[in-house]
Amino acid sequence: MDGVPIAAERPLSRWRLMPERGTLSLFELLLALLCVVLAVLGLSQNVQDVLIQTFLWAGLALAWNVAGGYAGLISFGHASFFGVGAYTSTILLVNYGLTPWIGLWLGGLLAAVVAGALTLICARLRGPFFILSTLAVAEVFRIAALNWASLTGGAEGFAILPTPSVFRMVFVSKTTYATLFLGYLVTVYCITKVLEGSRYGLQLFAVRDDEDAASAAGVNPLLARTGAMCLSAFLTAIGGSLFAQYFLFLDPTHVFSPELSFQFALLPALGGLATAIGPVLGAFVITPLSEMLRSYFGGGAAGLHLAIYGTVLVVVMLYFPGGIAAALAQLAGGHVKGAS
């Protein structure tokens, strides 16, 4: 079982045009280069704002994909991990003066513990039952955060003082934020790339596709699933901390909302599940598009951009279930491996 077929499929040339599991492609390098240029170019404030959000969403979509795509653990409760990360680093900063540079790791660890507990509890559940349980967990967190006002500020929200300092991870320049968020995206991307080429990644695929066969081959499904969920939650929580440091305001009805959970899942679904490039493409297409439509149609047609988004989602799911990544690969004449 030791990856024999994988080795046999290694491409002859080192650089491939289109993204493939386990190797870096020209496409990915060019995209990364483009991102770096855009981040440091010092574009207008509005464009940079969209850029920062796009990087953040791409990172979060990748983080969700670790559990939802690779391990098949479709979660509609990732807002709970996002919120735990955001609130942990913010509470530590505002109430205890701990720098978010440390706080975000603590938030990530806490979220990973929550995710581990959740997966162990729901380990037996499959399909819709697992999905609904994650949704319920996120709702419990939302209601708790809303009502535990002494800790979270309740419905009034929780603000970080906008005094710029490196220690407090608050910056004036949007370029700094863009670079920071791009760093987050690249890190999560690299982790995903390493994961999908690793032995553990293969174990996740095996457990997702046929649990009985995987455990017969010596993979512990419970351990594999829990690990994927913990990693996914950890990365999501770090995204949550960064979100807090950029927007400087947390509101439980937004940070823990089901809508946010759905968004985490929908971006990878649109882009291509269980591929590294898919969630990035999903976020790179959807985030700027919805920002553009929102500013273009303004208040006159509130909801139009989301109506378009919903339609696109239905069409993509029914007719291009591999998402944007698979469609792009088809155009280029190649194929993306790993899409379920």
Partner 1 sequence: MTTVGQLIFSGLLIGSIYALMSMGLTLIFGVLRIVNFAHGEFLMIAMYGAWAMTRYLGLNPYIAVAAVVPAMFLFGGVIYRLIISPGLDKPHLVVVFATMGLAILMQNIALMLFSADLFDVAPLLGGRSFIIGPFYAKAELLIGFAVAVACTIALRFMLQATFLGKAIRATVQDGEAAMLMGIPVPRIFLITFAGGSALVGLAACVMMPLFSVFPTVGLNFVLIAFVIVVLGGMGSVEGALIGGICIGVVQSISSYYVAAAYGQMFFFILFLLVMIFRPAGLLGRRGEATIGIND
**Residues near partner 1, by CB under 8 A:** 74, 121-122, 124-129, 131-133, 135-137, 139-140, 143-144, 146-147, 258, 262, 265-266, 269, 273, 301-304, 306-307, 309-314, 317-318, 321, 340
Q: What is the sign, positive or negative, of the torsion defined by CA atoms of 234, 110, 74, 56?
A: negative
Smallest separation, CB 187 to partner 1 (Å): 27
- Pick 50 or 266: Cβ nearer partner 1: 266
- Pick 97 or 300: Cβ nearer partner 1: 300
Burial letters 282-305, b for 16+ CB under 10 A, else e: bbbbbbbebbebbeeeeeeeeeeb
For residues 267 and 69, give the distance between their C-alpha atoms in angstroms, rounded to a whole number. 11
Residue 20 — φ and ψ, nearest 5°? -135, 160
For residues 72 and 127, give the distance between their C-alpha atoms in angstroms, rounded to a whole number. 9
Give the tokens for residue 337.
Answer: 């491996």
- Pick 168 or 305: Cβ nearer partner 1: 305
For residues 134 and 158, give the distance between their C-alpha atoms in angstroms, rounded to a whole number. 25
- Pick 33 or 301: Cβ nearer partner 1: 301
- Pick 31 or 327: Cβ nearer partner 1: 327
Smallest separation, CB 118 to partner 1 (Å): 9
Smallest separation, CB 266 to partner 1 (Å): 7
For residues 71 and 119, give the distance between their C-alpha atoms in angstroms, rounded to a whole number. 12
Smallest separation, CB 213 to partner 1 (Å): 13
Smallest separation, CB 53 to partner 1 (Å): 19
Smallest separation, CB 317 to partner 1 (Å): 4
The letter for the amino acid at 197 is G
Smallest separation, CB 179 to partner 1 (Å): 32
- Pick 95 or 311: Cβ nearer partner 1: 311
Instruction: Compute the 3-state secondary structure of the chain and give helix, strand, coil in percent, each to the nearest 5.
Output: 75, 5, 25
The letter for the amino acid at 31 is L
- Pick 49 or 139: Cβ nearer partner 1: 139
Q: What is the CA radius of gyration of the chain?
A: 20
Give the tokens for residue 51.
Answer: 């850029």
For residues 179 and 243, give the distance between their C-alpha atoms in angstroms, rounded to a whole number. 14
For residues 48 and 41, give the distance between their C-alpha atoms in angstroms, rounded to a whole number. 9
For residues 301 and 29, give the distance between their C-alpha atoms in angstroms, rounded to a whole number. 38
Smallest separation, CB 122 to partner 1 (Å): 7
